[in-house]
Copies of this chain bind each other. A is one copy, B any other.
């Protein structure tokens, strides 16, 4: 039985992020991501849709997932308002959209623009792929964020009425539907709503949705004629208590797992938590790219079988990596195990951030680990997608970053990720400074007195570290990845931590076909990638020399402080233009330069690769530099 520590994450606003890696992203969200998402939501009719004035034949027919897009932007605006409380324009805009959403509620509590205007006759009839309960979930999450940001209850109460209506329709009671959502989301939203309102009925409804999923007789097989492949894609081929592997649509798998973890924690349900641990293991040890990207297959945006991790084909949807972060946040908070935070850190610093440009207004939906003309084109971020889940998810994900860095309980404050930031909770106030993730120096300053355990994580990539408390060396072994120091902290107390940050040459499990003979570079939590901008084209002909002589330095065109990794390489070129030939290749010495994966494609279009072949290779070196 897993011990449930039940830590909690600080709310948005309790942590001010001050580092050079995340803080500019959070600011770009305020300056660019939210405004751009609002603009596109308006231009495409997503917001107007809540006026419910669409008629057949008119443009901008409300789409099944539009409500979720607006909800995610609203949720992001609410968090952003917490971080920018003086932004009157933002505040007005938020309340205006919220009022419009609330106005779309039907007398019975139902609220969905598509099913109210386009096909009212099909309400709750095509749960498997029409995103109806998914939209409801996102609206619930938005309403909670709005309430927490503004104290206003209008949206929250509106969504309680909708949740009450959903509760009256679904469940095991007489006359109720035994259905559950095709795309999970409402489950975790209902758990949050129960926590926010104290209303246990919402948690029960969430638990019903979670536990009914995949039960026999199977709702989707019986009522919606869903075939086996599609059942797997939406995690309805078995129950959450029987599932051991992460399967199907990756975002759905993550959102479901968040809810299962929430239900496990709420009920002290060790069996459910053990299943969550199985899923986390399946993801992180068998089905995850080194970037924290998940969902290998473009076919259904889905998990593949174990070790099927093709770099060029990789789907690795931005939203899936965000979902992994949210799932790992829960697993860490429930178990206190730093191993989940190691996975969170990998996804957060790499795969989850790669989907948004430094400017905040260009996005990747897919995040393969190789981009070339074979991709089948050199990939570039774009301004918006018709299916715009990723940009709108960034609106709400980026302001939450501070919440991932810290956790706390009554007796403990945890520094999960030592990015420069200030944490405040009640009487507790702690400031972290330093150059993380590029540098390993971390200074922790206590800004207030208090008796509790201060814990900091020793990342799994770190081979050596030193700790000084008020100048005195401390020697202590980490427990489950955390060094714990319990004392009566005084204002002015200081802990100096030095994590050794070195370039690590990473190799994949021998079962991964596409990574055989290749290495990936990692430095601290950052996974590195080669871009053709620094290395020239046809990156696959570069082979890296693992001689330990890596150099770090600045890189042109990326933010100040960004650390590039350079080193020795060779370029192996077979002479001649023939498609195939027995000519011996020549091997030329050259260097390579790699940049953090999450920052690629911020200097124009480029080839990119994370996994690079190793040399020594097949021939003699011709030194013609």
Q: Are B613 and A616 in contact (CB under 8 A)?
A: no
A569-611 contact mask (Cβ, 8 Å, vs B): 1 or 0: 0001110111111110100000000000000000000000000
Tell me which of A506, A516, A581 has the highest count of chain B C-beta atoms within 10 A of its own C-beta.
A516
Copies of this chain, complex-wide, total 2
Tell me which of A284, A376, A540 has the highest count of chain B C-beta atoms within 10 A of its own C-beta.
A540
Asked if A617 is an interface residue, CB under 8 A from chain B, the answer is yes
Count class of interface residues, chain A: 35 or more
Q: Are A509 and B579 in contact (CB under 8 A)?
A: yes
Q: Are A579 and B285 in contact (CB under 8 A)?
A: yes
Asked if A262 is an interface residue, CB under 8 A from chain B, the answer is no
Compute how far the CA of A508 lies from the CA of B305 in the bound complex, rounded to whole angstroms.
30
Could you say which residues of chain B place their CB within 8 Å of the CB of A573? 510
Q: Are B305 and A376 in contact (CB under 8 A)?
A: yes
| Interface residue SS majority, chain A | loop
Could you say which residues of chain B place their CB within 8 Å of the CB of A308? 373-374, 376
Asked if A345 is an interface residue, CB under 8 A from chain B, the answer is no
Q: Are A516 and B540 in contact (CB under 8 A)?
A: yes
Task: Select A583's contact among B285, B374, B376, B507, beta carbons within 8 Å.
Answer: B507
Q: Are A374 and B310 in contact (CB under 8 A)?
A: yes
Given contacts A305-B373, A308-B376, A374-B513, contact A508 B580 (CB under 8 A): yes
Asked if A614 is an interface residue, CB under 8 A from chain B, the answer is yes
Q: Are A513 and B284 in contact (CB under 8 A)?
A: no
Asked if A504 is an interface residue, CB under 8 A from chain B, the answer is yes
Residue of B nearest to A509 (CB): B579
Shortest distance between the CB of A112 and any CB in chain B (Å): 33
Residue of B nearest to A543 (CB): B517
Q: Are A517 and B572 in contact (CB under 8 A)?
A: yes
Shortest distance between the CB of A305 and any CB in chain B (Å): 7
A498-514 contact mask (Cβ, 8 Å, vs B): 1 or 0: 00000011111111110
Could you say which residues of chain B place their CB within 8 Å of the CB of A582? 504-507, 522
Asked if A541 is an interface residue, CB under 8 A from chain B, the answer is yes
Asked if A367 is an interface residue, CB under 8 A from chain B, the answer is no
Q: Known contacts A506-B581, A517-B572; can you find 5 more A-B pairs with CB under 8 A?
A: A505-B582, A506-B580, A509-B580, A513-B540, A517-B613
